[in-house]
Amino acid sequence: MQDYFSRRRFLLESVNGISAAWVAQHWTSALAAAQHAHTLLQSAAPARFEFFTPDLATEVDAVAGRIIPTDQTPGAREAGVVYFIDRALATFASADRKLYTEGMAELQARTREKFSGVEKFSAATAEQQDEILRSLDENAGSISRPFRPAPSGQNFFETIRQHTIAGFLIDPDSDRRGNRGGAGWQVISREHEHMFQPPFGYYDKDYPGWQPAAADPEKK
Amino acid sequence: MTTGQIKYSTSDEVDFVIVGSGAAGGVMAKELSTNGFRVVVLEQGPYLKESDFVHDEVTVLRQDFLTNHPELQPNSFRKTPEEKAKPQRAVGYGRCVGGTSVHFAANYWRFHEIDFAERRKVGAIPGTGLADWPITYADLEPYYTKVEWEVGVSGLAGSSPFDPPRSEPYPMPPLPVKSSGVIFERAARKLGWHPFPAPMAILSQPRAGRSACISCGFCWGFACEVGAKSSSLASVIPMAERTGRCEIRPNSYVHRLEVNGSGRLTGAVYFDEQKNTHLQRSKAVVVCANGAETPRLLLLSANRQFPNGLANSSGLVGKYLMINSYARCVGLFEHPLNDYKGFTDSRVLHDFYELDPQKVGFYGGGGLDARFDFTPFFFALGGLPPETPRWGSSFKAALSHNFARTMEIHSSGTSLPLETNSFSLDPDLKDAWGLPALCMTYRDHPDDLKLANWLNNRGLEILDAADVRRKWSLPIAEQQFTLSLLGTCRMGSDPRVSIINPDHRTHDIKNLFLCDGSSFVTSGRGQPTMTIQALAYRAADRITALAKRGDLGA
């Protein structure tokens, strides 16, 4: 943690474009606030849920864990997605509570129906869990570029899918309780910083600077 | 930041009420207050500060922290005037002090000469209202320069052989190139084209007490927490406030302009945060509420004297809406671009700004840029190849591999002006204040869709020439949603076919002026904000001259 902040401060101070006055004025407080939020986030290693019962949390955690599974790299469970969803249902997505309670009940019914002897989703094998979720996924396929994610309340699987992804990739420095420790950003290779300097990537690292093209057309 | 903040009483007749504080309203406020006038800016959204700005996608994107809210302000949409419109989000715009300029991508293209005089060149296009502007590029050039120097635009003069003439260089060098920009530049040159550094309203160097861009990667859709993005909030509004003559009044939703018995405006009526109604008296009103809300306000202000709405003797208020044609292709590369770092785009191509209709078989032209405007959550929802599973291990693997290796090529171009494309008042749907909701009627002209396809094919050729590993396009279809709000109160000399004259004064009401995207006669090639602001600087000069010689019709 200390590393992260000192690296960020170092970067900041080494950016040519930023005046020292600006740093003094803005960043110290921003940094302090971010650090505070981060410390809270880490120390509040969320033991308490605001909406879920412990049982429901276990089941939701199992679903999220199949939407973004854990393999060689962290998945939804390591990123604390269930805590993000819990807070979402306590705050901005409170309208989706019924969808969750009913959706999870339906999910459990399907579990028992499909696999006799398996009492709950979290007790099923990964393969069984995927089969159950596939049966709930109504709108597979289709590429779209939403200006905004679809509003809540559409269908349960799509809602929990979007919540899981949001909880995995949300800014870890926000107070949404998701992307714990920046695990999601680590998986997608997004550096855990909020300021960068060129070169940014492989293709611009050897860019020699702007040169006019060899032959330009006649000016109009 | 706000020295000399002044508060006016609503009964105090100020010189100007400006409705809206965005790209146009901010410039108008700065210019008119600097010129000695007493100004109240009524902004429907809140007055947010840099310390309010976050990178949390749920807050900013999902909860519309900066933008019009679909539940409070629903829209409806239909393709043709014969249909019954269905409730649907149709427009997106900034709803805070600074307006859409707070969260825009900040591409600042000047219009070219052709955009003002295309009808003369290509002739009438049957079934469309293609017309020429009553002003030319030369009339606007000094004001484009003013935008670049005062609002703050980074770029490289002379880097595009297609650029119109300019009187001054850019005040700052371009922003750093991104990997997407290098890929685009090298490939486009292979094809014999002329990519150039993107002109952006983002500071590449500290300027006027503002920080340079820190390349945070939350740019398009987000507000800048260091004031590097040249929004009205960061640039001109502080200057307006420093005059001591301009009050920015947030949370003030103007829903009617008040007219007296002799057909003159006496002020603007607005709801405050508690939904109480006030009338701010003023000698004149300048509406800069954007190409959707400006015509809506005129229509909402209908009264016995003006039963079809204000300034609407032509019946054309809200009509000739243009939203710019649009396409997008996506490329996946072998090595990490890390294009999430920085800002939206760094290289642009204007080789196809003016296409020959005889050769290509359709009217229009456009520009391409190399970009990556996804934040992580949105990338996961819309940035992966079409057949990628939407969850599970293959989804995670694609997400993990592609995020750093993806870029997009964005094409934007002309829309033809059609009288049937419009903003109007929905007869049934109401907003949270009980006012008729905005209804959008829009169907792209077939040429606009042909153009979008044509430009997108050039984008795909660039990706091919760049050794792309995979490429795909988003489907090109008739548009049902827009951020580009143009042409709905068009400028012209003939009151029968236009709403405002070249001074931005409405033909019908002497002390009512309109200035924003609604003033446009043609759509340009996308990226209209630069022209909106140049128009605002020019309009402020004209309005100042009229006011100083006592010609506001008082």
For the stretch B93-106, pLDDT in tens is 999 999 999 999 99
Mutate to test the interface with A, among B190, B396, B399, B473 (most CBs of A within 10 A): B396
Measured between beta carbons, which residues in chain B are less than 8 angstroms from residue A92?
A: 58, 62-63
Bridge-partner residues for B473, per DSSP?
B329
Question: Is residue B505 over pLDDT 80?
Answer: yes
**For A27, which residue in chain B has the nearest alpha carbon?**
B226
A142 or B295, which is more confident: B295
Contact in structure between B250 and B43 (CB atoms under 8 Å): yes
User: What pLDDT is recorded for position A1?
Assistant: 34
Q: How far is A52 from chain B (nearest CA, A)?
A: 20
| CA–centroid distance for B206 within its chain | 25
Which of A38-42, A213-217, B26-30, B157-161 has the least mean pLDDT?
A38-42
**For A143, which residue in chain B has the nearest alpha carbon?**
B386
Question: Is residue B418 over pLDDT 70?
Answer: yes
Instruction: Determine whether the interchain pair A18/B183 forms a contact, defined as Cβ–Cβ distance below 8 Å.
Output: no
Mutate to test the interface with B, among A143, A164, A170 (most CBs of B within 10 A): A143
ipTM of the complex: 0.94
**How far is residue A121's CA from residue A132's CA, in Å, rounded to a whole number?**
9
B359's CB contacts (< 8 A; 6+ apart) are none
When pLDDT is averaged across residues A116-124 and rounded to a whole number, the result is: 96
Give, in order, the Cα–Cα distances in Å from B395 to each of A161, B213, B223.
Answer: 12, 33, 30
Question: Is residue A154 over pLDDT 90?
Answer: no
Mutate to test the interface with B, among A190, A203, A206 (most CBs of B within 10 A): A203
State phi, psi for B506 to the nearest 5 degrees.
-70, 145
Question: Is residue A8 over pLDDT 50?
Answer: no
Question: Is residue B374 over pLDDT 90?
Answer: yes
**For B380, which residue in chain A has the nearest alpha carbon?**
A165
Instruction: Determine whether the interchain pair A219/B161 forms a contact, defined as Cβ–Cβ distance below 8 Å.
Output: yes
Determine whether domain B1-104+109-152+231-320+482-554 maps to CATH 3.50.50.60: yes
Q: How far is A148 from chain B (nearest CA, A)?
A: 6
B311 or B59, which is more confident: B311
What is the percentage of chain B residues whose pLDDT exceeds 90? 96
User: What pLDDT is recorded for position A41?
Assistant: 46
Instruction: Determine whether the interchain pair A204/B177 forms a contact, defined as Cβ–Cβ distance below 8 Å.
Output: yes
Query: Please, which pLDDT band fits residue A175 given cuts at 50, 70 and 90?
Result: confident
User: What pLDDT is recorded for position A24?
Assistant: 39
Burial B340-354 (b: 16+ CB within 10 A, else e): bbbbbbbbbbbbbbb
Question: Is residue B63 over pLDDT 90?
Answer: no
Query: Please, which pLDDT band fits residue A137 given cuts at 50, 70 and 90?
Result: confident
**How far is residue A205's CA from residue A202's CA, in Å, rounded to a whole number?**
6
User: What pLDDT is recorded for position A213?
Assistant: 82
Question: Is residue A219 over pLDDT 70?
Answer: no
Query: Please, which pLDDT band fits residue A19 given cuts at 50, 70 and 90?
Result: very low
Contact in structure between A203 and B419 (CB atoms under 8 Å): no
**How far is residue B260's CA from residue B263's CA, in Å, rounded to a whole number?**
5
User: What pLDDT is recorded for position A220?
Assistant: 42
Question: Is residue B11 over pLDDT 70?
Answer: yes
User: What pLDDT is recorded for position B73?
Assistant: 96
Bridge-partner residues for B340, per DSSP?
none
A127's CB contacts (< 8 A; 6+ apart) are none
Q: What pairing do the DSSP bridges indicate for beta strands B277-287 and B512-514?
A: parallel
Give, in order, the Cα–Cα distances in Å from A51 to each of A42, A83, B282, B435, B528.
Answer: 20, 10, 52, 36, 46
Q: Structure tokens of B417?
A: 């002006």
Measured between beta carbons, which residues in chain A are less than 8 angstroms from residue B385?
A: 143
Question: Is residue B152 over pLDDT 60?
Answer: yes
Mean pLDDT value across chain A: 79
Tens digits of per-residue pLDDT, B116-126? 999 999 999 99
User: What pLDDT is recorded for position A139?
Assistant: 64
B274's CB contacts (< 8 A; 6+ apart) are none
User: What pLDDT is recorded for position A215?
Assistant: 61
Q: What 3-state DSSP class applies to B2? A: coil
Q: How far is B207 from chain A (nearest CA, A)?
A: 10
User: What pLDDT is recorded for position B61?
Assistant: 86
Question: Is residue B84 over pLDDT 50?
Answer: yes
- Pick from B385, B389, B403: CB nearest A189: B403
Instruction: Determine whether the interchain pair B58/A141 forms a contact, defined as Cβ–Cβ distance below 8 Å.
Output: no
Q: Identify the H or E element spanning A54.
A: helix A54-67
Query: Please, which pLDDT band fits residue B401 given cuts at 50, 70 and 90?
Result: very high
- Pick from A17, A175, A216: CB nearest B194: A216
User: What pLDDT is recorded for position B256?
Assistant: 98
How many other β-carbons are positioned within 10 Å of the β-carbon of residue A181? 17
Q: Structure tokens of B427?
A: 């007869």
Which of A111-115, B2-6, B58-62 has the least mean pLDDT?
B2-6
Tens digits of per-residue pLDDT, B162-189? 999 999 999 999 999 999 999 999 999 9
Measured between beta carbons, which residues in chain A are less than 8 angstroms from residue B336?
A: 189, 201-202
User: What pLDDT is recorded for position B308?
Assistant: 98
Query: Please, which pLDDT band fits residue A82 given cuts at 50, 70 and 90?
Result: very high
Question: Is residue A23 over pLDDT 90?
Answer: no
User: What pLDDT is recorded for position B351?
Assistant: 98
**How far is residue B348's CA from residue B114's CA, in Å, rounded to a whole number?**
19
How many other β-carbons are positioned within 10 Å of the β-carbon of residue A211? 8
Question: Is residue A114 over pLDDT 80?
Answer: yes
DSSP code per residue over B150-180: III-B--TTS-TTPPP-SS--SBPPPPPPHH
Measured between beta carbons, which residues in chain A are less than 8 angstroms from residue B342?
A: 196, 198, 200
Q: How many A-B residue pairs are in contact by the CB < 8 A criterion?
A: 214
Question: Is residue A33 over pLDDT 50?
Answer: no
When pLDDT is averaged across residues B223-241 and rounded to a whole number, the result is: 97
**How far is residue B249's CA from residue A87's CA, in Å, rounded to a whole number?**
34
Question: Is residue A36 over pLDDT 60?
Answer: no
What is the percentage of chain A residues whose pLDDT exceeds 90? 63
User: What pLDDT is recorded for position B229?
Assistant: 98
Contact in structure between B456 and B473 (CB atoms under 8 Å): yes
- Which residue has tokens 């809602």? A159
When pLDDT is averaged across residues B20-39 and rounded to a whole number, the result is: 98
Question: Is residue B530 over pLDDT 90?
Answer: yes
Q: What 3-state DSSP class applies to B126? A: coil
Q: What 3-state DSSP class applies to B406? A: strand
Which of A12-16, B128-132, B504-508 has the least mean pLDDT?
A12-16
Q: How far is A179 from chain B (nearest CA, A)?
A: 11
State the pTM of this model: 0.93
User: What pLDDT is recorded for position A107?
Assistant: 96
- Pick from A18, A66, A165: CB nearest B211: A18
DSSP code per residue over B293-312: HHHHHHHHT--SSSTT-TT-
**For B214, which residue in chain A has the nearest alpha carbon?**
A195
Q: What pairing do the DSSP bridges indicate for beta strands B253-259 and B265-271?
A: antiparallel
Mean pLDDT value across chain B: 96
Question: Is residue A147 over pLDDT 90?
Answer: no
DSSP code per residue over B314-374: TS-TTBS-B--EEEEEEEE-SS---TTSBSSEEEEE-TTSS--HHHHSS---EEEEEE---
Measured between beta carbons, which residues in chain A are less than 8 angstroms from residue B212?
A: 15, 17-18
Question: Is residue A142 over pLDDT 80?
Answer: no
When pLDDT is averaged across residues B52-71 and rounded to a whole number, the result is: 92
Contact in structure between B376 and A188 (CB atoms under 8 Å): yes
